[in-house]
Amino acid sequence: MWKIKPLNLGKLETSKNGLTFGKGNGEKQEVPCIGWLLTNAKGEVVLVDPGPSDDEQWGTKYHNPFKKKDEQRLENVLRNDGFDPDDIKICILTHLHWDHAYGALKLHNAKIIVQSQELRYAVDPLPPDQKHYETNIKDRKPFFLDFYQQIETISGDCQIGNGLKVVHLPGHSPGSQGVVVTTEMGDYLIAGDLINIMENWNSHPRIPPGIFYSLEDCYRSFAKIENLKVNVLPGHDWLAFEQFT
């Protein structure tokens, strides 16, 4: 059995229709960047989505208005739970967008698990997606190439360990993936940005994220989650912190 702890790694300001497709145009929201610390009784530690850059100015210039306090830096958040970035041996990235994957640069001892389809797309994304992977910045290589040698690619669903499984959930990006975690309270799905906020999931019909690669894939992935019979954990919703207090 695993324990799940959501980590507050900064916050973004965005228009709500960037979270919920077709809803909330012009409505501003501040949302958290959430990492997920997974631990078990065997002493195993897994980190899902180590979060964005520490540089508020950089994040705001190239992405969204972005705020990050010193105590929200990955190393400081981990140390609150008795860990150091070098203690992390496995890191799972739901996708390679900057606000979920930048923190992997601090995980020097980690194997970083990414869908092969996501890595292929990240190096040559379509124009609207270039900013998410930072392939559009002149005179600077994309950040994820700095941890390229640590990446282990998988294709599709994959058992990572006892009570820990990665499921391919394309839609937000081609290689988006979720993580199914078995806990004493049941099975939880860390859904990444297929489900930004619980409104995406709790609405009927479901609402796709405002940023997507394939609308059809979003709905196929929603159907896949329904069949999993899991509790859903969103990628950018303050409600995530209330589930494990």
pLDDT at 245 over 70: no
For 108-124, the pLDDT digits (tens) are 999 999 999 999 999 99
pLDDT tens sequence across 199-221: 999 999 999 999 999 999 999 99
pLDDT at 244: 77
Instruction: Write down the pTM of the prediction.
Output: 0.97
Q: What is the pLDDT of residue 243?
A: 84
Contacts for 22-28: CB closer than 8 Å, 24+ residues apart = 22/207, 23/199, 23/207
Domain ranges of the chain: 2-242
pLDDT digits (tens, 9 = 90+) for 60-91: 999 999 999 999 999 999 999 999 999 999 99
Whether the CA torsion 183, 189, 190, 196 is positive or negative: it is negative
Q: How do residues 158-213 score in pLDDT, each as one tens digit?
A: 999 999 999 999 999 999 999 999 999 999 999 999 999 999 999 999 999 999 99
Percentages helix, strand, coil for the chain (3-state, rounded to 5) are 35, 30, 40
Domain 2-242 has CATH 3.20.20.70: no
pLDDT tens for each residue of 14-53: 999 999 999 998 899 999 999 999 999 999 999 999 999 9
Percent over 90 (pLDDT), the chain: 97
